Amino acid sequence: MKKTINWGIVGLGKIANKFAQDIRLVKGARLHAVASRTLGKAQAFGEQYQATHVFGSYEELVSCPDLDVVYIATPHVFHCENSLLFLKSKIPVLCEKPLAMNAKEVKTMINCAKENDTYLMQAIWTRFFPLMEKSMELIEKGEIGAIKSINADFGFHANWNPDDRLLDKKLGGGAILDVGIYPIFITYLLLGKPNSIIVETTLNELGVDETSSIIFKYEDGVMANLFCSLNAHTEVEATIYGKKGKLKLHGRFHHPKTISYGDYYSGITTLNDNYKGNGYQYEIEAVGQDLLNHKKENKLLTHQFSLELTEILDEVLKIAGIEYQQDQI
């Protein structure tokens, strides 16, 4: 059985650099090929991370020999198009979050993966961290009792350059899709789809959402209070309040290094994980194991999970009055 997974990377920006660094931490994984729309950029990236092959177009990467899987790290609006390019050639895909711009695109990607019997997973790295797994275990064991409320936030000061993808609506810019997805993800992971949603959003002069407060309401009075912003630096924490106690994923909760939990009226236990690298190694390992075991989707981030998460994002954006070009197709 083949034990080394040959990775390709599509789109060579900031996240791709961190991902390439962490491939080195995973036994049985290697950076095999990289592709950019600019050959010079691909060559520089490939030299920095010792990639065997470099390409000046994504189409050329499709024909790369011995390629096992590609990581799509392009701007949001290209995720569907770029993923389909490889899925149609039966090349497994790990695509950055959000998986696509809307549920319609996600369905197209899932259908293509199934039609071509090819692996597809959304790269929500948060799901695979050891302390996230531990948190799920503690909650499922009833350590804090039934969940009654969740508070989660993700805000930072963005670079207010009109040319930055975060502010470019044509590239899927905005706080909700870029960072709001994390508070929404953990809430959906723990509570499922909400019964109702309330959203208050501030748009900037470019028509991009810069700050949003979101409330998810469930049965029996359970609620989640979520916040995301491109102009406010927040703690980036998630606190799950249960009937017996609470569990906190300390900042930055989307790649947790510290959690604390316990009863409201007794001691609190704190766990730390000073992992190496950036933290992408855990999803890299997960995808590698899936491929070695001939899986077509990951059991923790299934196709259905990604579709329903996207449907929630669609609803939040709709309530906020935000529409992208892809929603008009």
Tens of pLDDT, residues 1-53: 468 999 999 999 999 999 999 999 999 999 999 999 999 999 999 999 999 99
Mean pLDDT of the chain: 95
Please tell me the distance from the alpha carbon of residue 6 to that of residue 33, in angstroms, as a whole number: 8
Tokens of 278: 């950036």
- Biggest CA–CA distance in the chain, Å, is 61
Please tell me the distance from the alpha carbon of residue 130 to that of residue 139, in angstroms, as a whole number: 14
Return the H-helix or E-strand segment holding 120: strand 120-123
Strands 5-10 vs 29-35: parallel, antiparallel or unpaired: parallel
The predicted model scores a pTM of: 0.96
Q: How far is CA 180 from CA 199, 213, 316, in A?
A: 12, 10, 10
Tokens of 31: 């950076």
- What is residue 1's predicted lDDT score, i.e. its pLDDT? 45
DSSP string of 4-48? -EEEEEES-SHHHHHHHHHHTTSTTEEEEEEE-SSHHHHHHHHHH
Quick one: what percent of the chain has pLDDT higher than 70?
99
Chain-centroid distance, C-alpha 206: 25
DSSP 253: T
Decide if pLDDT at 69 tops 90: yes
Mean pLDDT of 77-106: 98
Q: What is the pLDDT of residues 102-140, one digit of tens each?
A: 999 999 999 999 999 999 999 999 999 999 999 999 999
Q: Is 94 helix (H, G, I), strand (E, B) or coil?
A: strand
Q: Given pLDDT bands bounded at 50, 70 and 90, which one contains residue 265?
A: confident
- What is residue 2's predicted lDDT score, i.e. its pLDDT? 64
Residue type, 138: L
Q: Given pLDDT bands bounded at 50, 70 and 90, which one contains residue 164?
A: confident
Please tell me the distance from the alpha carbon of residue 121 to that of residue 142, in angstroms, as a whole number: 29
Three-state SS across 123-177?
ECHHHHCHHHHHHHHHHHCCCCCCEEEEEEEEECECCCCCCCHHHCHHHCCCHHH
